[in-house]
Amino acid sequence: MRLGLSGDGHLAREARARVGDRLAWARVVRARDVGNALEALADPATFGVVITGDPSLAKSAVGSVVLNDLEATHHTVRLRSTIVGTETPYGALAVLLARLPEDAQDDPVSIMRGIIALLTAAAGGRPTVLLLETSNNLDELSTATLVNIMVTGTAKLVVVADRASDLPADFHWMLAEERLREVPLSTLSADAMHAGLRELLGGIVPQTVSLQLEALSRGNPQVAFLTVAELLARGDLEAVDGVWVLAPDADTTGMRQLDDLVRARIERLPAGIKSAIEAIACARRIPLARLTTAFGHEDIARMEREGLIAVEETGRHSVTLTDPLMGEVVRGWLSVPRRRELRALLLADGLPPLEVLTHFELLGLAAWTHECHAQLPTGHAIAAAKESLRLWDAKFALECLDWVERDEALWPEVQRLRAGALLMLQLPHQALACMDQVSDAELEAQSRLDVAAFASVKATAMRSVPGRADDVPAYLDTVRARLLAKAGGPDAAGAGRDPGAGREGGAGRDADGTDRIVAARLDLAEFEYWAFCGDFARIVDRLEAAVAESQPAEEEARLVMASILMEARTVLGRERDGLALLHELTSEISLTSASIRVRQAFATRAFDVLLYNGHWRQALAVLRATPDTSSHYLRSSGASVELATGLALVMAGRGQEAMGSLQAAIALLERSPAARWLGLAYAAAAFACAQRGDAAATRSWLAKLDSSEPAEAYRTRFYTQFCSDMARRWIGDAHAAARLVASAREDIAHGRWNPAGIKLVGATVDARPDELRLLEEVCRHRQGQLAEIGGLLARGTRTGSLTDLAAAADLAAGLELDAVESRCAAVALDKARSRGNTVMANLMQARLDALEGRVAVLPVTPSQATPTLTQREQEVAVLAAAGTSNRRIAEDLGLSVRTVEGHLYQVFAKLSVSNRGELAGLVVGGGRGGRP
């Protein structure tokens, strides 16, 4: 259920209170590191531990957590070595030295003995642990004393340092022999970050929001902690119906605490190095030669030695800041005049030509130019926009194109790129408007390949705009006819009238393969359109031929076509063939440098193929393995990832697990200007609540669905209709099953045997024999385990075959489809009881009992309920099932043996069993000789 405004306010107040507790955060996100340190300290063979890591990884917090965990059982002391520690004798031990009497401070030996005696007395028989925070400035006398304290067993030491190699030489042999164990800290994994954020914020933290916060903080736990605190204070991170959502433009610029963190790292550096840091921060990535020309070799060499910069070993030896956060914060300090000054210093000879720039150098240059309020040359701007789209950064692509003025020769390409960015942002109306601004004359002046690319993007925009989708086939035919007619030849002009004609003739006429590439691009646009409509039968043969072509016109087009083909095979009932192609493509794409477009097309359709086959866990794995998880991608597609996660779980019958992801998706989609999947999210949430037995919440989500816009794409319509009708059926809608059957018949008419089978399995819970026969017929046109389950369930329900029902239950269990397994078991239980088949009834009852914790509401409730035993019969049955003799039962319960025998006769009759062994699993209670 939703929290509402007051609940969200309470959640936000609690979160703001928790971000004040730095140690609680460290305890959660560094639990493994803290555990490793405590384990090492507990080992009698060790002298202590050394906690190492970069300066901003919150080593001190981890050391403090370790000490806090030991305070109840140990004597603990905190020591600190300051930056002037090497110049001050016993600087690290000043706290202890101040407590020594004057006569114990005559010489180093006296001081050492006095400190040991002081620690021993204060410990009072408890073990002692010292926490030493050092900035690599430990003086010799402190070092000698600490070594003696460890070697004599007076105390163990927890050292906090940037690097173990920076510690005094006396510590090195201890590390080499593992008398001191190193606990190195690194950035957090995605799972650790997510767990920490859930603990810190409470409520529901969507996985995609967690990944965005991880991207903002670069996995650095201290930065993440400060970032969350600042975003909460700004209102850029807020709770909506109990779900934490990020503002679309949330970033880490201007955060005071992060600013202080970075300033503390660089404030003592020489002015030349500070300027170099500013320049690299602005450029993001710059060739080493340019940097050394501007700032000299010595400063750059020192920066590399101190780990401030990283230099690529190949190519142009590009230089970047080791800590990207430093660059982001430094850029926030700089004024526009300072940015221009640095730009003039590094680019004194003008902008580098495009051909020498790497992709990342180009993007850095574009961003730097934009921040200087300057204008990029048109060629650089278009190239930067293309690269941004490749990296899924649609907003920056649009910013790059804002600099480009209308030019007849370039305008079609510019508008195509703009439309592609707007489609990424799920704004098809605006994308189509961009395409419509290109005149016929401007388009006519383009090359045929560019026109084909333009037409492909426009077709994508058209199909996503209500009322324009039906125009796509005619538009593509017109473009095809015009483009192939340009190439000459009598066949070309007629190609548009018949989508399958003229392609081979055109491919054979042009020596450079232009006709073939044009045809491939337009074919792909057409295939994507018919797949969008769900008309796979229309295109499957052409897809098979295109994918099997030994020398494809374009490899990228072939891979996308193959992704459509694996979905087409699956939808049309060739599930095994679809899975086989999926496995082939998985290997092929993983071994190639496929574009993000290819990888996204494959991942989206692979998810559907796996879900259509009942492999929901593998479908979830596809979501987790989606290759591009940049913050740009997550911001534009995070809601769809959350929705897909919830959908996979609810299709598997796991409504309780699905609700967190679905609520997250709904919160994100309701804030989106183009929430085209919102209706599906409502439908899936309704189905999840129905599976949980919450009829009121189910009706609430269905009411929201009824007021939402209908879906355009077939796959979205399929999932939405199935989830909504299943939810309505579970809460007693008398017409829901009939709607599912009618929809399945429509799928059958279009050859979509797989969706038809899925719908009929859901519709036939209380079905008539003719509908069960229809399900059997549909499953005969299909492949795979889901088809086997459907056929066995239908035949077993219709004929009463216990063998078929048990086999269906086994297959469902193998796919972890708990709701389907419970249905098969419940039907088999009824059939077995009606026939007096005690063995099968016991087996099916045991299945249902095992599913009890996972299936809140059974899709089918056994009509012949288990007979109720009286309290005395239950007591006797429990003891008998445990192997207790009749005489012992009589003694334990204070009954006569004849009375016990009578009760057992009634128990056997009610439970349809013939001996004590069959009672096992049918009754619960105490063990041998005990009372229930």
pLDDT digits (tens, 9 = 90+) for 181-200: 999 988 877 777 888 888 88
Q: Under a CB-based contact definition with an 8 Å cutoff, are residues 243 and 203 in contact?
A: yes
Give Cβ neighbours of residue 704 (< 8 Å, ≥ 6 apart).
682
pLDDT band at 234 (very low <50, low <70, confident <90, very high): confident
Give rounded-to-5 percent helix, strand, coil for the chain.
Answer: 65, 5, 30
* Cα 48 to Cα 52: distance, rounded to the nearest angstrom: 13
Q: State the average pLDDT over residues 663-678.
A: 81
| 19-33, 313-327, 469-483: range with highest mean pLDDT | 469-483
Amino acid at 583: H
Within 10 angstroms of residue 871's Cβ, the number of other Cβ atoms is 8
Token reading at 619: 């479908």
Task: With CA atoms as reference, report the closest residue to 646 among 610, 613, 684.
Answer: 684
Is residue 357 predicted with pLDDT exceeding 50?
yes
pLDDT band at 916 (very low <50, low <70, confident <90, very high): confident
pLDDT at site 498? 42
pLDDT at site 170? 84
pLDDT at site 491? 40
Only one residue has tokens 């004609």, namely 501
DSSP for residue 161 = E
Is residue 412 predicted with pLDDT exceeding 90?
yes
pLDDT at site 593? 67
| 150-154, 257-261, 891-895: range with highest mean pLDDT | 150-154
Is residue 882 predicted with pLDDT exceeding 50?
yes
| Phi, psi (degrees; rounded to nearest 5) at 228 | -60, -45
pLDDT band at 470 (very low <50, low <70, confident <90, very high): very high
Q: Under a CB-based contact definition with an 8 Å cutoff, are residues 619 and 610 in contact?
A: yes
Do 31-184 and 871-919 share a fold?
Answer: no
Task: With CA atoms as reference, report the closest residue to 722 among 698, 743, 750, 695.
Answer: 743
Q: Measured over all CA atoms, what is the biggest interatomic distance in the chain, rounded to whole angstroms?
A: 112
What are the b/e assignments for 472-492, b being 16+ CB within 10 Å?
Answer: bbebbbebbbbbbbbeebebb
pLDDT at site 82? 62
Only one residue has tokens 């005619």, namely 474
Of the listed ranges 137-146, 151-160, 258-267, the one predicted with least confidence: 258-267
pLDDT at site 560? 94
**What does DSSP say about strands 318-321 and 309-311: parallel, antiparallel, or unpaired?**
antiparallel
**Homologous superfamily, domain 31-184:** P-loop containing nucleotide triphosphate hydrolases (3.40.50.300)
Q: Under a CB-based contact definition with an 8 Å cutoff, are residues 350 and 290 in contact?
A: no
Q: Under a CB-based contact definition with an 8 Å cutoff, are residues 819 and 653 in contact?
A: yes
Token reading at 480: 């095809």
First to last CA, the chain: 39
Q: What is the pLDDT of residues 306-346, one digit of tens each?
A: 888 888 887 778 889 888 778 888 888 888 999 999 988 88
pLDDT at site 920? 65
Q: What is the pLDDT of residues 96-123, one digit of tens each?
A: 888 888 777 778 888 888 888 888 998 8
**What does DSSP say about strands 309-311 and 286-287: parallel, antiparallel, or unpaired?**
unpaired
pLDDT at site 636? 59
Say if residue 673 is exposed, middle or buried (CB neighbours under 10 Å; 0-12, 13-18, 19+).
Answer: exposed
User: Taking the mean position of all CA atoms in its chain, how far away is CA 620?
Assistant: 9
Q: State the average pLDDT over residues 847-875.
A: 72
Q: State the average pLDDT over residues 277-283.
A: 90
Is residue 682 predicted with pLDDT exceeding 90?
yes
- With vertex at residue 845, the alpha carbon angle to CA 840 and CA 850, rounded to the nearest 5 degrees, is 130
Task: Give the domain ranges of the chain.
Answer: 4-18+190-252, 31-184, 253-353, 534-628, 629-710, 871-919
Report the predicted TM-score, pTM, of the whole model to 2 decimal places.
Answer: 0.78
Q: Is 137 helix (H, G, I), strand (E, B) or coil?
A: coil
Q: What is the pLDDT of residues 795-853, one digit of tens each?
A: 999 999 999 999 999 999 999 998 899 889 989 998 888 888 888 888 888 888 888 77
pLDDT band at 587 (very low <50, low <70, confident <90, very high): confident
Q: What is the mean pLDDT of the chain?
A: 84
Task: With CA atoms as reference, report the closest residue to 886 among 802, 895, 253.
Answer: 895
Is residue 919 predicted with pLDDT exceeding 80?
no
Of the listed ranges 371-385, 880-894, 900-914, the one predicted with least confidence: 900-914
Q: What is the pLDDT of residues 590-626, one digit of tens each?
A: 766 667 788 888 999 999 999 999 999 999 998 877 5
pLDDT band at 651 (very low <50, low <70, confident <90, very high): very high
pLDDT band at 233 (very low <50, low <70, confident <90, very high): confident
pLDDT band at 14 (very low <50, low <70, confident <90, very high): confident
Give Cβ neighbours of residue 905 (< 8 Å, ≥ 6 apart).
none
Q: Is 335 helix (H, G, I), strand (E, B) or coil?
A: coil
Is residue 908 predicted with pLDDT exceeding 50?
yes
- How is domain 871-919 classified at the architecture level of CATH? Orthogonal Bundle (1.10)
DSSP for residue 157 = E
Q: Under a CB-based contact definition with an 8 Å cutoff, are residues 669 and 678 in contact?
A: yes
pLDDT band at 356 (very low <50, low <70, confident <90, very high): confident
| Phi, psi (degrees; rounded to nearest 5) at 673 | -70, -20
Token reading at 397: 């692509």
pLDDT at site 401? 92
pLDDT at site 861? 63
**What's the CATH number for 253-353?**
1.10.10
Is residue 537 predicted with pLDDT exceeding 90?
yes
pLDDT at site 626? 55
Within 10 angstroms of residue 422's Cβ, the number of other Cβ atoms is 24
Helix or strand holding residue 159 (H, E): strand 156-161
Q: What is the pLDDT of residues 618-637, one digit of tens each?
A: 999 988 775 444 555 555 56
